[in-house]
């Protein structure tokens, strides 16, 4: 043992994937979240090293965010700023975002918003070297508190960011009564809650730094998420292509599943599993009991069966229940459909692209809307790709709700964009399947895509004329 280190090492180093806190050998993980839980008995007053710059405290004081004065060269690239799936971290916004993610988690688990916290969480931003960079989390347990340090690159995906914050917030809650060792959060719980937040208003909590300054005012991207629809719609789309995972598979996920290399089936199954657990009688209470029990148990399975004994007296009861949940999920139609009027309005909204137009170099930008064809003609592919990917996802979700008269047309637009982007494609529920239904379509060029979109627009005008009398009734 090196001089100066305490002789009693309370817990061991853990290397974890970016989706959860599950033990794996370090050399097997590449695109993973590195979780280092070094729980050492510290001398009184011992803390982590001070933040790099003047820190920003969140409103509750629990989160302390700091970072470099300038963005990395990677975060400053135009393609990064145009990609709505990426987050550029700014310490001032990071402190606010962390509080919003915490509030969202607390609402789902029915934790009182003003519940006293024990562990302060330091969020330290550093210049990113690549988009595959790892997130590192350290925790230290002392006699009266646990302190956390989360090291994040200044540009990363929304999913990686939300999952990391979800994990450390869950761990802080679980460790409030920890004495000997840190809680080990089950992977499915971290992933399931993170996916639920991403599906149900994640962009409002994930605050990205402004892309540019116009006339002295910062201008940032804003992805609006409409609530009130099926929060599991995205999970349904994923599980249309892949079978949901069994309880045993959720318990022992592979590294590929944790990294999302299975097409997202593990994450979608985890979201469904967590949602169904929370829907049980006293579900949120039992999840909280599970978290609070983790530091006293050597594995999460023991804590789980103790917390959910009321619902599942024996482990076999849990497996039977989950099998029934999967059967019901497969039979579910994805929620109520839209009326003809709403379907037409939703499709029109998806097929329009909001842009800012400036008449002269000194004038303020005004808002306008352009068609998908104009977008393809007027922008280079690097800039248009993230916008079209977002539209492709919107069309897939909308197709689950579309009135029958517009469902096939929506599917046509999906196919056109998927072919242009070379993106994976699977028929929506109710659409005919073939053994080659899933996977990327044959990539089409811009000219052919524009011709297809024009034909679809003409078909849409005919359908709208035919259904207009029905809408006006």
Taking the whole predicted model, whether its pTM rises above 0.85 is answered as no
pLDDT at 22: 34
More confident residue, 353 or 35: 353
pLDDT value for 164 = 94
Q: What is the pLDDT of residue 149?
A: 94
Most confident of 38-42, 49-53, 368-372: 368-372
Residue 461 is predicted with a pLDDT of: 92
Distance between CA atoms of residues 5 and 230, nearest Å: 52
State whether residue 350 is helix, strand or coil: helix
Residue 72: predicted pLDDT: 84
Indicate whether 374 pLDDT > 50.
yes
- How large is the average pLDDT for residues 417-432? 69
- Decide: 139 and 166 in contact? Cβ < 8 Å: no
C-alpha–C-alpha distance, residues 404 and 399, integer Å? 9
Q: What's the mean per-residue pLDDT of the chain?
A: 77
Confidence band of 245 (pLDDT split at 50, 70, 90): confident
For residue 442, pLDDT beyond 70: no
Percent above pLDDT 90 for the chain: 32
Burial of residue 381, with CB atoms counted within 10 A of its CB: 0-12 exposed, 13-18 middle, 19 or more buried: exposed
Q: Where are the alpha helices (DSSP H) in 351-445?
A: 372-378, 381-399, 404-421
Give the distance, in angstroms, between the CA of residue 176 and the centroid of all CA atoms in the same chain. 26
For residue 199, is pLDDT > 60? yes
Q: Which residues fall within 8 angstroms of residue 355, CB to CB, at 6 or more apart?
A: 367, 368, 369, 370
Residue 64: CA count within 13 A, CB half-sphere: 16
* Token code pair at residue 436: 């080659």
Residue 90 phi, psi dihedral angles, 5° rounding: -120, 130
- pLDDT at position 4: 38
| Structure-token pair, residue 292 | 């609070």
- Structure confidence at residue 179 (pLDDT): 74
Two tokens, residue 410 = 């929506």
Return the structure tokens found at 425.
């494609």
State the pLDDT confidence band at 29, using cuts at 50, 70 and 90.
very low
162 has pLDDT over 60: yes
Would the pLDDT of 174 be above 90?
A: yes
């Amino acid at each position: 043992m090196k001089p100066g280190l305490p002789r009693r090492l309370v817990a061991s180093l853990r290397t974890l994937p970016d989706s959860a806190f599950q033990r794996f050998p370090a050399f097997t993980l590449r695109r993973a979240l590195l979780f280092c839980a070094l729980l050492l008995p510290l001398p009184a007053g011992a803390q982590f090293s001070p933040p790099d710059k003047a820190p920003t405290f969140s409103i509750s004081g629990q989160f302390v965010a700091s970072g470099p004065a300038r963005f990395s060269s990677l975060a400053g690239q135009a393609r990064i700023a145009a990609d709505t799936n990426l987050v550029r971290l700014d310490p001032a916004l990071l402190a606010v975002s962390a509080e919003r993610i915490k509030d969202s988690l607390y609402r789902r688990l029915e934790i009182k918003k003003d519940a006293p916290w024990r562990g302060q969480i330091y969020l330290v931003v550093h210049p990113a070297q690549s988009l595959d960079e790892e997130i590192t989390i350290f925790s230290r347990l002392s006699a009266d508190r646990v302190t956390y340090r989360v090291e994040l690159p200044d540009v990363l995906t929304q999913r990686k960011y939300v999952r990391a914050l979800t994990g450390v917030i869950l761990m802080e809650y679980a460790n409030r009564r920890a004495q000997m060792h840190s809680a080990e959060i089950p992977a499915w719980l971290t992933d399931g809650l993170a996916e639920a937040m991403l599906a149900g208003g994640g962009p409002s909590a994930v605050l990205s730094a402004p892309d540019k300054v116009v006339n002295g005012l910062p201008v940032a991207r804003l992805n609006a998420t409409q609530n009130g629809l099926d929060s599991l719609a995205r999970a349904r789309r994923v599980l249309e292509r892949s079978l949901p995972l069994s309880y045993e598979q959720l318990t022992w996920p592979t590294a590929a599943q944790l990294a999302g290399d299975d097409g997202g089936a593990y994450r979608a199954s985890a979201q469904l599993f967590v949602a169904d657990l929370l829907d049980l009688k006293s579900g949120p209470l039992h999840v909280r009991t599970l978290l609070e029990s983790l530091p006293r148990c050597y594995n999460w399975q023991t804590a789980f069966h103790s917390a959910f004994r009321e619902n599942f007296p024996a482990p076999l009861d849990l497996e039977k229940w989950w099998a029934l949940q999967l059967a019901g999920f497969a039979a579910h139609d994805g929620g109520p459909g839209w009326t003809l009027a709403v379907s037409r309005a939703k499709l029109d909204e998806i097929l329009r692209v909001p842009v800012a137009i400036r008449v002269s170099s000194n004038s303020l930008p005004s808002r306008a809307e352009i068609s998908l064809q104009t977008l393809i003609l007027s922008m280079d592919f690097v800039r248009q790709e993230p916008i079209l990917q977002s539209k492709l996802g919107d069309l897939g979700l909308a197709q689950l709700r579309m009135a029958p008269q517009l469902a096939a047309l929506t599917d046509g637009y999906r196919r056109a964009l998927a072919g242009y982007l070379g993106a994976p494609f699977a028929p929506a529920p109710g659409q005919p399947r073939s053994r080659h239904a899933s996977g990327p379509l044959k990539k089409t060029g811009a000219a052919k895509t524009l011709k297809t979109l024009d034909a679809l627009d003409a078909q849409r005008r005919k359908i709208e004329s035919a259904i207009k009398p029905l809408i006006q009734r």
